[in-house]
Amino acid sequence: MVPKLPPLPPASSWYPGHMALFAKNLPQLLSNTHVVLEARDARLPLTSINPNFEEMLEKWRKNRGGGLAGPVERVVVYNKVDLVPKWGVVPFERALSRHFDHKTIFTTAKLGKSMGSLHKHLTDIARTHGKEIQHLNVLVVGMPNVGKSTILNHLRSYGIKGARSNALKTSRLPGMTRATSNRMRLCDDPLIYSIDSPGVMLPFLGYGDEARERAVKISLILAMKESLFDYEQLAAYLLFRLNSMNPKAPPYPALLSKPKNKQPVFPYTDSIEEFLQVLATRMGYLLPGGVHDTSRAAKWFVEWWRGSAAEEENLGGTPEWGWGLDCQWVMDEPEEMPNHTMPTFLDSTEAKAEAAQERQILGVSDEELEWRFDTVIKRHLQRSKELLNEVSETQVKKREKEEAMERREQKRREMQHRKA
């Protein structure tokens, strides 16, 4: 059975005023920045890339304003790596390095994992440029709810003896940080300061099914305001993705069985209505009159995925079908094999060996996985360029209003000039 994409709601954009204000002020902030630390979500390794950031940061790296001496470095942190299968980390990082030259580090900031690698990288930069600068300035950016504040809290614990690990407030919901923070000390020796920023979404997610799918994926990881989607819509898409990632053995049947009663395991299904009814029965979610409470069942299903991905086998995909919510394989191989490797920052040498052993057991080589990741990344980057050229109706009206105001202002100046 081939999984079918369910009907999805319109792609609601979420771009409140504090995001627009930060985007407007970003060039000025960059003029005083040595290192940009961009946080992304490992479950959406490509969708959590903000194309607007890419454009601004590329300009910053080429020609930073303000004449500030010192480094111009960019570090991308893929957070929540415990929620994706380990076998994909190394080949994904190698494929990504073919398209970007920034440093990439994988972390689980909530548990403090790999913070040592990130701390060491920042202190190495500061010491390398110690004669040029008095201190290192780090600006943290990223989409909402990818763990920016949590990362900074743990870095403070590494860099400052006795520092509190909750200096910045965090929340499971997006939008906790709504303004650029005051400068905060991250490390005493060498001296490193950081600025936290509000999570910033794209002002427009595009048109058509791709835009709708993009919006639902972002909502699934709680990077958009929760009220924009109902849980049954999210559950329908999640069921589709789980079926797509492993159609031979999707991970949800065990949720729907009752081992104590020896009830048979529920089989594969692409019917969200059938799935939620069985799940509601399994969980005892019934409304008066014995009606299935499918809304409650849908919420439970989505929250199960958000919280259990680290424990459930194959929940994040398989080498045969894909990795995370973004990387569904296109089986056309790239024209050439990758000819270089890049270091990948897992928790330890032992963790890297464990991931390699897992791939060996699965019978898929790093090179083959790298080809697959490379194809997916190329396709995503091409679509991101197209997205930047798409404009929403709201943006069109805004531009028309600005142009009309500019024409009126020009006419006013001309009249004043004639009178003079």
Identity of residue 330: V
Q: Please tell me the least confidently modeled range out of 147-151, 186-190, 232-236, 361-365.
A: 361-365
Q: Are residues 315 and 189 in the same domain?
A: no
Residue 165 maps to a domain:
yes
Contact residues for 21 (Cβ-Cβ < 8 A; gap 6+) = none
CATH number at residue 46: 3.40.50.300
Q: Are residues 129 and 77 in the same domain?
A: yes
Residue 401 maps to a domain:
no
Q: What is the domain count for the chain?
A: 2
Q: Are residues 277 and 159 in the same domain?
A: no
Q: Are residues 36 and 118 in the same domain?
A: yes
State which of 298, 328, 358 marks the end of a domain.
328
Q: Are residues 78 and 184 in the same domain?
A: yes
Mapped onto helix, strand or coil, the DSSP state of residue 376 is helix
Identity of residue 352: K
What number of other Cβ atoms are within 10 A of residue 188's Cβ? Answer: 11
In this prediction, residues 205-224 reach a mean pLDDT of 86
Q: Are residues 298 and 345 in the same domain?
A: no
Q: Are residues 40 and 174 in the same domain?
A: yes
CATH number at residue 238: 1.10.1580
Question: Concatenated DSSP letters for 373-386?
Answer: HHHHHHHHHHHHHH
Identity of residue 151: I
Q: Are residues 165 and 299 in the same domain?
A: no
Grade residue 328 by pLDDT with cuts at 50, 70 and 90: confident
Average pLDDT, the chain: 79
- The owner of tokens 């970003």 is 26
Query: With DSSP H G I counted as helix, E B as strand and the rest as coil, what are the percentages for the chain, rounded to 5?
Result: 50, 10, 40
The length of the chain, given as a count of residues: 420
Q: Are residues 184 and 278 in the same domain?
A: no
What number of other Cβ atoms are within 10 A of residue 246's Cβ? Answer: 19
Which one of 156-160, 286-290, 350-354 scores highest in mean pLDDT? 286-290
First to last CA, the chain: 78
What's residue 30's pLDDT?
87
Residue 216 maps to a domain:
no
Q: Are residues 307 and 159 in the same domain?
A: no
Q: Are residues 190 and 297 in the same domain?
A: no
Grade residue 337 by pLDDT with cuts at 50, 70 and 90: very low
For residue 130, the enclosing domain spans 11-207+338-389
Q: Are residues 254 and 287 in the same domain?
A: yes
Distance CA 201, CA 295 (A): 27
pLDDT of 143-180, one tens digit each?
Answer: 888 888 889 888 888 888 766 655 555 445 444 454 56
